[in-house]
Structure 1
């Protein structure tokens, strides 16, 4: 009756939960014991002890037998063995206590005391027991017909049926066999007690051994030994000592089924289907457990060989069980090998998931082939500079071949500055419900689990809550919900081989949840490495290290390329490009900015920063020049730069300047047209002034709009095909009337506009503009002339007249925050 009620217990557990099922069982069990205490007729005992007690015990057993494997992975069989040892040792104590109570108080009070004690003990256990059915996504179907279509499960059922036939027949035959060979009834009872004692003490040992050598392997060997001991020792045992020895060594291995059924079933069908599988196990055990003893009695017909046929029957039942389990083990080996190769154990020509989870997956999504679809990936960005993300992704696709392969994906993200890491999506849900997440995890990723279940694969789980916070206890409880992955390796929080992250997006409560396996980290650590506070040479206008690195990334800085910053200042952009592997050059109208105070070269200025980061080998040099009068301008049609990056001067503090005099010197006899440069060299002590140390070249005002045209023209003349120009440009967000003002981007016929990324302040912003040299276009003098003809005409001579942004800055929003 206890086994027959298993399907009902499975249903009540699914509908009402484990505690409710246990309370129903405890109520029935208590009522059965109390009813038996007042029974006076046989039908009353049958109703109370056979039906009511059997149903009550079955409800409790079926509801709890699958709980322990849910909480253990590496020591699952040991834990299950310790628990099942209670049935052996507890049964021995129960019988002794019951016998003493009957002798002292009578059978009526013995039943009543047992009812009170069992209700108290089982009730306390029911209150504190915790299952993980929801966490593992347990599928609790009373009679799961899909399992009966799996040959390996049918073989496991046969192992259980043969084991039960052998165990029950052996258990009830040992005391009678002792009497048949001349032992006293008391000695026969001792044999039965020793058999139970051996089973109780041996179950934890068998559980521990199975965790070390494998659950299927241990169950197979123990089942074989039970048959071997029955055929080799029991048949020939005639003395009390030998029979005691047989009872002690055969007790543990004969009870292998009860010790290992849950762990073995979990190996065959998975944790999700374990409750449904056990329900079928107990139901299928009703027939063999009911008829095992009658069969053994029927076989004892010949008085001269009283127990021989029964002994042979027991031995061969265990051997039959061993053969069934041997076939299950062969299936498991094939299943693991096929899963490792990415093949379906049912259809070896196809690629699919581990067959252990095939039925569970079918319950979630029967018609979806996840193996044929590429995995999705999630990039976890930092919370800053949102408008820069798509631009960086586009740049990374140019730096790395854009294919969905984990090695390529890892290389892809390893070039990123804004991202933190990239994850292979194992599951996602948009309603913040973890049950929905677990269902999607099983649908998406069950075929991947076996790859990481090896004992040698260390792992780590973490939680990333965006706009939310979890306590340590909450995090631990959430992480424990994923124990159904079955990972056997060591948890390593510092340096794991594999890492999974639960990413939560909050809006007072979790709104969206994603589980991802970390593929690789980005190089965002460079932001901390290049923190300006740690840099020996900076100025008040040095660009933020993160933005400098992003700029170099969008310009596709990488090893083997040559980059230039024509407004290098203290060299922040050169440092960023060199850090990413490019060879760098720089220039500035004021050589003091890159040389440093009192410097004759760059060793006290930009060179100090390069040496600090160990990238001085990639630093070419810096020279003093402006953008229009620079030796970096190519001669003829030769284009040689892979990238130009810069934070162009805004002209706010002192106005924009370009090399030249406001009033060029006149040469005697020559008419001045107002545009000539100095024709007469400037001498100091008979030495050319510009050759002396510390020489500062004369400068004249420069139009900001002219600067924009000149830098695009310079890029068109010097960038190779596909080379990029990336520079920062300040803009006002409002016009002089306070209205939103659209930004007009400069353009050039030989440069393709790629990206515009905005860093807003209050009433002004600075924008990172990225252009790409049109591939395959040749330098065309007419194109340059046409672009030159489009240069805006700016009238005036003062800094405000030549720079509208400077005028707006001081007139309207110079005192605004961040201004």
Structure 2
């Protein structure tokens, strides 16, 4: 991944995590755009590679990215690279000595790490590779515990674990600058969270969604299917004010049956606000309330800087909205409303996403982003199935595989203009809106796939009692 610039530009090496590969490029692009920078892949860019080369950026730029990203492990100032040790040496010898001098002075301390991707080296082999770098003008002392400067030799042995070459396909050497925010995935793990539900969003994905939405301090972020507030937790960590709604009264008020193992009922302080309090971001909590996403309670205005949500798919959470096909009867005159449970009806996925996009078009600020999950049946999926809106432009479309036949797409859209009267007609005339109707049967297709898998498993020869699982 590169920005084209002159030969004197600094280069940086981004060391990426092995998970969530599809989400990495949109996240890095979004974080760079927060600083007014753009990033486009170079001709030699490999999206699945754990190493990306960045050009045309300042050290402040890459530090800013690393302060947010959960898809990258660390970033290095790239001093040299090549396909062989000889090419690496030539590249390092061409690196300006004045740029190295600050970090190689005799009064400084340093250490060199060796990192190999797709291959494990013995300790002695690592030492030999470090000794082979003796042509570099290091003058300081080695300090393995607390060095002033850290350097790393990276060796890339490709992506195929079944075909590991004897020699690395590519080598890099650089100075460590900063680590990413992988620790957030552990510190915000749902397993450690005070208030959870059956569909609480994974911590890593929550932070990725916040980054795709370019959430920044003082933004107002809204989740119309807030659930237990995992997305609000992630957005509040980055300094945004957060609010949300959900049709489920028990979830919003933190009452009813618990989702945690060995716990029957929720405790008196299990709610979304307590989750933010747990992570020290309660000051960012605006409020949540019971509301039907199909009938927005908000005035028609640009209220939100970002809308981030995970709508129900009808698998572990039902897709319901208020209303009834039956004749509506008014409550008695003396009804106080204290024990009223609204009648609900099916809420088709096509309607959920149509309402979500219309809501975003009406309530997002210009430049604000909508980030949401779209469930798909993989054998039938095509890009034309992604819902569109005249006021929103598609930024990225990333896949998370759920099974052999289902997945969900992380859709990121940005508002580019205010809604107009003619937009409704444009939506009806756009042929890319009609194919999504087929996803209304996603639940049936999801369970039919599981049934077929089970039936296939039942065709296997029977095992003796106690064998297999």
TM-score interval, smaller chain = 0.7 to 0.9
Structure-2 separation of matches of 1:802 and 1:654? 16
Say which SS state the counterpart of residue 102 (structure 2) adopts: helix
Q: CA deviation at 1:764?
A: 0.8
Match of 2:142 in 1: 491
Q: Distance in 1 between matches of 2:124 and 2:132?
A: 13
Tell me, in whole angstroms, the C-alpha distance in 2 between the residues paired with 1:453 and 1:808: 61
Q: Displacement of 1:793 after TM fit?
A: 11
Structure 2 match to 1:657: 320
What displacement does 1:741 show?
5.7
> What is the CA–CA distance in structure 1 between the aligned matches of 2:69 and 2:349, rounded to whole Å?
32
Question: In the alignment, is the contact (CA less than 8 A) between 1:378 and 1:424 conserved in 2?
Answer: yes
3-state secondary structure, aligned to 2:133:
helix
Which SS does the other structure have where 2:129 is aligned?
helix
Indicate if the aligned counterparts of 2:112 and 2:150 stay in contact, CA closer than 8 A. yes
Q: Distance in 2 between matches of 1:564 and 1:553?
A: 15
- Aligned-partner SS, 2:185: helix
Determine whether 1:392 maps to 2:37. Answer: no
Normalising by structure 2, what TM-score?
Answer: 0.81
Is residue 68 of structure 2 the alignment partner of residue 418 of structure 1?
Answer: no
Q: Over aligned residue pairs, what C-alpha RMSD do you find?
A: 2.8
Equivalent runs, 1:180-195 vs 2, <5 Å: none
Q: 1:722 to 1:816 in 2, by over 3 A?
A: farther
Take 1:772 and 1:626, find their aligned partners in 2: how far apart are those partners?
24
1:627 maps to which residue? 293
Q: CA deviation at 1:744?
A: 0.8
Is residue 376–residue 439 contact of structure 2 (8 Å, CA) maintained in 1?
no
Partner of 1:106: none
For 2:410, which of 740, 752, 768 is the aligned residue?
768
Q: CA-to-partner distance for each residue in 1:655-686, whole Å, 9 max, x for gaps? A: 421112231324xxxxxxxxxxxxx2357xx4
How big is the shift at 1:802?
8.7
User: Is 1:382 aligned to 2:21, yes or no?
Assistant: no
User: What's the offset of the Cα at 1:601?
Assistant: 12
Q: Which residue of the partner structure matches residue 596 of structure 1?
A: 254
Deviation at 1:803, TM superposition (A): 2.3
How does 1:87-486 map onto structure 2 within 5 Å? 373-402=8-37, 404-430=57-83, 433-486=84-137
In structure 2, distance between residues paired with 1:725 and 1:621: 20
Partner residue, 1:508: 165
Q: 2:305 aligns with which of 627, 642, 645?
A: 642
Find the aligned partners of 2:213 and 2:194 in 1 and give their Cα distance. 26
Of 399, 408, 423, the residue aligned with 1:758 is 399
- Who is 1:553 aligned against? 211
Distance in 1 of aligned mates of 2:7 and 2:429: 57
CA drift of 1:447 comes to: 3.5
Partner of 2:336: 688
Mark the CA change 1:682 to 1:641 in structure 2 (over 3 Å): closer, same or farther.
farther
Cα separation, 2, equivalents of 1:771 and 1:471: 47
Deviation at 1:779, TM superposition (A): 3.0
| Map of 1:720 onto structure 2 | 365
Provide the C-alpha distance between the structure 2 equivalents of 1:533 and 1:733, rounded to a whole number of angstroms: 30
Structure 1 position 524, deviation (Å): 2.0
Name the residue aligned to 2:350: 705
Classify 1:793/1:757 alpha carbon distance in 2 versus 1 (closer, same or farther; 3 Å): closer
Contact persistence 2:366–2:418 (CA under 8 A) = no
- CA deviations 1:548-589 (Å, max 9, x no partner) are 110110001110111011101111111111112211101111
The residue number in structure 1 matching 2:389 is: 748
Task: Pick the structure with greater CA Rg.
Answer: 1
CA deviations on 1:477-525 (whole Å, 9 max, x unpaired) are 2222223333333433344332111111113322211112112211222
Question: For residue 40 of structure 2, what is the aligned residue in structure 1?
Answer: none
Q: State how far apart, in whole Å, the 2-side matches of 1:444 and 1:626 are.
A: 61
Residues in 2 aligned to 1:371 and 1:479: alpha-carbon distance in whole angstroms: 31
Change (3 A) 1:802 1:398: closer
Q: Deviation string for 1:25-78 (max 9, x for gaps)? A: xxxxxxxxxxxxxxxxxxxxxxxxxxxxxxxxxxxxxxxxxxxxxxxxxxxxxx
- Counterpart position of 1:612: 278
Distance (Å, rounded) in 2 between the aligned partners of 1:630 and 1:579:
27
Classify 1:812/1:594 alpha carbon distance in 2 versus 1 (closer, same or farther; 3 Å). Answer: same
Distance in 2, matches of 1:602 and 1:748, equals: 42
> What is the CA–CA distance in structure 2 between the aligned matches of 1:793 and 1:371, rounded to whole Å?
47
C-alpha contact 2:308 2:372 (8 A) present in aligned 1: yes
The separation in 1 between residues aligned to 2:104 and 2:6, in whole angstroms, is: 19
**Alpha-carbon shift at residue 786 of structure 1 (Å):** 4.3
Give, in whole Å, the separation in 1 of the partners of 2:206 and 2:274.
18
> Conserved in 1, the CA contact under 8 Å of 2:294 and 2:352?
no
- The CA distance in 2 between the partners of 1:788 and 1:707, in whole Å, is 17
**Distance in 1 between residues matched to 2:442 and 2:215, nearest whole Å:** 30
Q: Displacement of 1:372 after TM fit?
A: 5.4
> SS of 2:111's equivalent?
strand
Give the secondary-structure state (helix, strand or coil) at the position aligned to 2:207. Answer: helix
Aligned mates of 1:529, 1:662 — CA distance in 2: 46
> Structure 1 stretch 440-449 or stretch 508-517: which is displaced more?
440-449
Could you tell me how far 1:545 is from its partner in structure 2? 1.0
C-alpha change, 1:380 and 1:508, in structure 2 (3 Å) is same
Aligned equivalents of 1:757, 1:467: Cα separation in 2: 25
1:392 and 1:554 in contact (8 A); partners too = yes
Aligned equivalents of 2:405, 2:435: Cα separation in 1: 26
Structure 1 residues 726 and 601 mapped into 2: Cα distance closer, same or farther (>3 Å)?
A: farther
Query: CA 1:723–1:816 in structure 2 vs 1: closer, same or farther (change >3 Å)?
Result: farther
User: 2:426 and 2:111 mapped to 1: Cα distance?
Assistant: 61
* 1:458 positional shift: 2.6
Greater RCO structure (CA 8 Å; 6+ sep): 2
Q: Per the alignment, do residues 600 and 385 of structure 1 end up closer, same or farther by CA in structure 2, a change over 3 Å counting? A: closer
Query: Could you tell me how far 1:413 is from its partner in structure 2?
Result: 2.5
Aligned-partner Cα distance in 1 for 2:443–2:349: 9
